[in-house]
Amino acid sequence: MKIIFAGTSEFAVPILKSIALQSNWDVSLIIAEPAKPAGRKNQLAHSPVAQAAQELNLKLVTPKSVKDAADEIRNINPDIMIVVAYGQILPRDIFDLPKHKTVNIHPSLLPKLRGPSPIQTTLAQGLTETGVSLMLIDEKLDHGPIISQELLATSEVDNYFTLEKKLADLGAKMIMRDLPRYISGDLKPKPQDDSRATYTKLIKKEDGRMDWQKMSDENIHNLWRAYIKWPGIFTFFKNKNGQNIRLKLIQIEKCPTLGVGHNPGEIFSDSSKNLYIACHKGAIKIIKLQPENSRIISPIEFLNGYKDVFWQRLC
């Protein structure tokens, strides 16, 4: 079976590796997005899928647009194309090329959480379950008929990294189990119920800014879990010169029984010099934090450097 695999992010890597190790599957081509500037020096860095393709000695192309790979796809004449977190929308003249069409692996129980950020949204909303859907791609976003689905329970200790890994491993298991059954005709794709559809948004940097006046300790802890990879969660405080300084909250804990008697956004401490921020309801405990243009520090280091933060209301 000749397969073309299109993917870019870390979520796709375990799935690609499982497919590549299947002895009777021929991964004829990997399509990934081009290298992009990364890090403080803005040096070009290959995507996780591109790096995995090179490690596996698989043929790799990184076109600016997937349309630029159309001729190569036609020449391969694949049996099927598998798309996992590729980052581009495929047009019909691409996804219809393979004999058995194009399968997408999506980390939610479709039609719930269609769109670009299902993992972050699961965590941000504090959902107790999610899952993986194998679906055929059509011209609408995450709309195509479902081949198979499997539920996955989430945990309060999950964050973006841990949940992404669990869902990727589940997706790898499902593609190995269900793809042959789909191709043989044993699994018949079924249309989604559009009346049950929900949608996720493209995450922006500003989404990481906390609103202490409206958010509870649980809301903020869930956003921290969701945005731990990017953009992180942050707030602003004033230094002794009255300048607003961005403060990134690297590691936190929720404290639902604290915060009484403090205004939302107020920094306070206890006799053990633990550092807290009062929320609309409850408080969060700061374990690690990072002032703008500084390294990651402990609460004690922060208090030693910014003694005037007490009783401030963060914004």
- Domain containing 73 — which CATH number? 3.40.50.170
Shared-domain flag, residues 239 and 304 = yes
- What amino acid occupies position 191? P
Q: What is the pLDDT of residue 303?
A: 85
Q: What is the pLDDT of residue 39?
A: 72
Both tokens assigned to 114: 């269609």
Q: What is the pLDDT of residue 224?
A: 98
Q: Is 315 a member of any domain?
A: no
According to DSSP, the residues that pair with 131 across neighbouring strands are 151
- Domain ends where: 134, 167, 196? 196
What lies within 8 Å, CB to CB, of 279 at 6+ separation is 212, 215, 216, 217, 219, 220, 259, 264
Shared-domain flag, residues 220 and 89 = no
3-class DSSP state of 102 = strand
Shared-domain flag, residues 170 and 144 = yes
Shared-domain flag, residues 65 and 132 = yes
Shared-domain flag, residues 122 and 248 = no
**In this structure, what CATH number is given to the domain that contains residue 217?**
3.10.25.10
- Domain ends where: 147, 166, 196? 196
Q: Is 303 a member of any domain?
A: yes
Q: Are 218 and 136 in contact (CB under 8 A)?
A: no
Shared-domain flag, residues 173 and 115 = yes
Q: Of 212, 205, 228, 234, give the one whose Cα is nearest residue 279.
A: 212
Residue 305 CA to its chain's centroid (Å): 34
What lies within 8 Å, CB to CB, of 164 at 6+ separation is 10, 11, 107, 119
Shared-domain flag, residues 144 and 275 = no
Shared-domain flag, residues 101 and 159 = yes
According to DSSP, the residues that pair with 248 across neighbouring strands are 234, 290
According to DSSP, the residues that pair with 236 across neighbouring strands are 246
Q: Is 314 a member of any domain?
A: no
Taking only Cα atoms into account, the Rg of the chain, rounded to an integer number of angstroms, comes to 23
Cα atoms in the 13 Å half-sphere on the side-chain side of 253:
7
Shared-domain flag, residues 153 and 293 = no
Range of the domain at 228: 205-309
Q: Of 246, 249, 276, 254, give the one whose Cα is nearest residue 264.
A: 276
Q: Of 63, 48, 124, give the one whose Cα is nearest residue 94.
A: 63
Q: Of 90, 105, 110, give the one whose Cα is nearest residue 164.
A: 105
**Cβ neighbours, 10 Å, residue 155:** 10
Shared-domain flag, residues 146 and 219 = no
Q: What is the pLDDT of residue 312?
A: 66
Q: What is the pLDDT of residue 311?
A: 63
Shared-domain flag, residues 72 and 219 = no
Total domains in the fold of the chain: 2
Q: Could you read off the pLDDT tens digit of each residue along the chain, which spans 315 residues?
A: 899 999 999 999 999 999 998 878 999 999 999 998 877 777 888 999 999 999 999 999 999 999 999 999 999 999 999 999 999 999 999 999 999 999 999 999 999 999 999 999 999 999 999 999 999 999 999 999 999 999 999 999 999 999 999 999 999 999 999 999 999 999 999 999 999 999 999 999 999 999 999 999 999 999 999 999 999 999 998 877 778 889 999 999 999 999 888 999 999 988 888 999 999 999 999 999 999 989 999 999 988 888 777 666 777
pTM, full prediction = 0.94
Angle subtended at Cα 149 by Cα 181 and Cα 169, rounded to the nearest 5 degrees: 90
CA distance 45 to 36: 5
Shared-domain flag, residues 39 and 136 = yes
- Domain ends where: 196, 218, 251? 196
